[in-house]
Structure 1
Amino acid sequence: MQKMKYSLAALAFALVLNTSAQQETQNSFYMFNATLLNPAYAGSRDALSLVADARLQWVNWDGAPRTNCFTLHTPLVIESVGLGLNVLNDVVGASTRNSIFSDFSYRIRLNKNNDRLAFGLRAGVDLITNNFGNLAVNDNTDPIIAQNSFNKTLFNTGAGIYLYGKRYFAGVTAPKFIPNKTSDLSSFASKEALHVYFIGGYVFKLNSLWDLKPGAAVRYTANAPLSIDGNLSLFFNQKIWFGVMYRHGAAAGANIMYQLNNTFRIGYAYDYSITSMTKYTSGTHEVLIGFDFYKKTETVRSPRYF
């Protein structure tokens, strides 16, 4: 019986750590804040762009993911160069990940319509803390619990490509290349998996008041099923976005974004699981606040679709 308890504890921790290693942070607003995934997006809004995003996943589920992130990016005086900064705090159960990554992009103007092709690089660190002392357990003498906690500082780097015009965008990115070991526990090994994202969308003008933006994201993860997201958004009067999304076999949801002016926007998204766990949670909530600061001498491109 005691041996079984140890095995169950080991299995539980393995699942937590393996989930952390295999799964990049989920985000419902990646179409409006692509710099979170793709370093080539840095500078593409032609403004000093700041975004704060808070996500509370699987409400009512103990130890469910909680994510807060802050992103900043801007073009430089040399307009072909962009720089960005991404700061993230991600908590899943007993595991906390604090990340800081910097982005560099180089943009090439393709034609008179100002379509551009951008190449991006990313580098930074993940600070991972696993504190098993925060877990409620029946047996504090368990050898895994006895290790209490461990910390890891992991360097990583990534890259991306981003093609965009006034009404379309497409990109491919691998945010992290290095398969870092995330666990020091002797019972099992856990490594970060390679994630590759393919993201694209197009904006159709329906009439003077309405625009329609379909989009999709495909995520390839080593040794895991392909993940496919589809989303559809309506843009009313260049002020309000109404959107729905579907994540194949996993979740569905809706979102709204209000563009107060060329500087300020705020959005809310709600996702709910379509798996068997839906009866144990009341969904996922996410809030985004964004600011774009343009130079006084610069002509503002309005509206911004992504």
Structure 2
Amino acid sequence: TQYKYNYSDLNMEFVNDPSFEPVDENFITPNFGAGVMYYSRYYYIGFSVPRILNIEANDGVTESTRYKKHYYLSAGVVLPLSNGFKIKPSTLVKIVDNQVSVDINGSVLLAETLWVGILFRNFNTFGALAQLQISDRLRIGYSMELPSTKLITSQWGTHEIMLGFDFAPFRKQVLKRRYF
């Protein structure tokens, strides 16, 4: 991660504060992550720590943690119910500073083409998602998430547009249907 402070861009009322001398500061804080995932055609389980080091930054006034270590545990399964109809329950558990966040998702696959689902985060946020398999290699999707608190009247939530492409570097390579 790279940070840059340029104090000369500040518009200050009192210009004689030595903490804000017009100097440029650049610093780089390297980090690394690790993870493992086991999957088959119909289920998966994974664990990851995307940023192993806590990144501290000092802006001249206070020191703060910019990136905290996050632990992720994810799992899911695809259950065939009938010809052309499958369900996919999945979960994601995130732990940061002994605070646990749990996502519970449920999707339905119709005719091996359209995923439609719902999600709950900590039972105070909910959302919906859809994904369309356009070809063997191309899919598009949309998801939205809304709070179930008083914020729902003033906040439109988060929205995400997805584009997925499966690469096959060799012409004769056969791609298997992937559910994850």
Establish whether TM, by shorter chain, passes 0.5.
Answer: yes
**TM-score in terms of structure 1 length:** 0.52
SS in 1 for 2:29: strand
**Aligned equivalent of 2:159:** 285
Between the aligned partners of 2:45 and 2:123, the Cα distance in structure 1 is: 24
Q: CA deviation at 1:276?
A: 3.5
Q: What code does the residue aligned with 2:173 have?
A: E
The structure 1 residue matched to 2:117, chosen from 225, 240, 243, is 243
Q: Is the 8 A contact 2:34 2:50 kept in 1?
A: yes
Deviations 1:128-154 (A, max 9, x none): 34678999x9x6449699578854422
SS in 2 for 1:128: strand
Q: CA deviation at 1:200?
A: 0.3
The structure 2 residue matched to 1:155, chosen from 30, 35, 53, is 30
Q: What code does the residue aligned with 1:267 have?
A: G
**Aligned equivalent of 2:68:** 193
For the pair shown, the structure with the greater C-alpha radius of gyration is: 2
Q: Check 1:167–1:222 CA distance in 2 against 1; reply closer, same or farther (3 A cut).
A: same
Q: Is the 8 A contact 1:171 1:198 kept in 2?
A: yes
Structure with the higher helix share, 1 or 2: 1
**Aligned equivalent of 1:218:** 93
Whether 1:274 aligns to 2:148 is yes
Q: Is the 8 A contact 1:150 1:184 kept in 2?
A: no
Deviations 1:13-71 (A, max 9, x none): xxxxxxxxxxxxxxxxxxxxxxxxxxxxxxxxxxxxxxxxxxxxxxxxxxxxxxxxxxx
Q: Is the 8 A contact 2:35 2:47 kept in 1?
A: yes
Q: Is the 8 A contact 2:19 2:60 kept in 1?
A: no
Whether 1:234 aligns to 2:108 is yes
In the TM superposition, structure 1's runs of 4+ consecutive aligned residues that sit over 3 Å from their partners are 128-135, 139-152
Q: Is the 8 A contact 1:168 1:203 kept in 2?
A: yes
Structure with the higher strand share, 1 or 2: 2
Q: RMSD between aligned alpha carbons? A: 2.7
For 1:109-120, what aligned pairs fall within 5 Å after superposition? none
Q: What code does the residue aligned with 1:266 have?
A: I
**TM-score in terms of structure 2 length:** 0.85
Q: Check 1:282–1:140 CA distance in 2 against 1; reply closer, same or farther (3 A cut).
A: farther
Q: Is the 8 A contact 1:249 1:275 kept in 2?
A: no
SS in 1 for 2:172: coil
Structure 2's unaligned 5+ residue stretches are none
Structure 1's unaligned 5+ residue stretches are 1-125
Q: Check 1:140–1:256 CA distance in 2 against 1; reply closer, same or farther (3 A cut).
A: farther
Q: Is the 8 A contact 2:78 2:87 kept in 1?
A: yes
Equivalences, count: 176
Between the aligned partners of 2:4 and 2:106, the Cα distance in structure 1 is: 37
SS in 2 for 1:277: helix
Between the aligned partners of 2:8 and 2:76, the Cα distance in structure 1 is: 45
Between the aligned partners of 1:154 and 1:177, the Cα distance in structure 2 is: 12
For 1:256-275, what aligned pairs fall within 5 Å after superposition? 256-275=130-149
The structure 2 residue matched to 1:299, chosen from 153, 174, 178, is 174
**Aligned equivalent of 2:43:** 168
Q: Is the 8 A contact 1:234 1:243 kept in 2?
A: yes
Between the aligned partners of 2:117 and 2:9, the Cα distance in structure 1 is: 38
Q: What code does the residue aligned with 1:234 have?
A: V
Q: Check 1:189–1:250 CA distance in 2 against 1; reply closer, same or farther (3 A cut).
A: farther
Q: Is the 8 A contact 1:140 1:146 kept in 2?
A: no
Q: CA deviation at 1:267?
A: 0.6
SS in 2 for 1:278: helix
Identity of aligned residues (%): 27
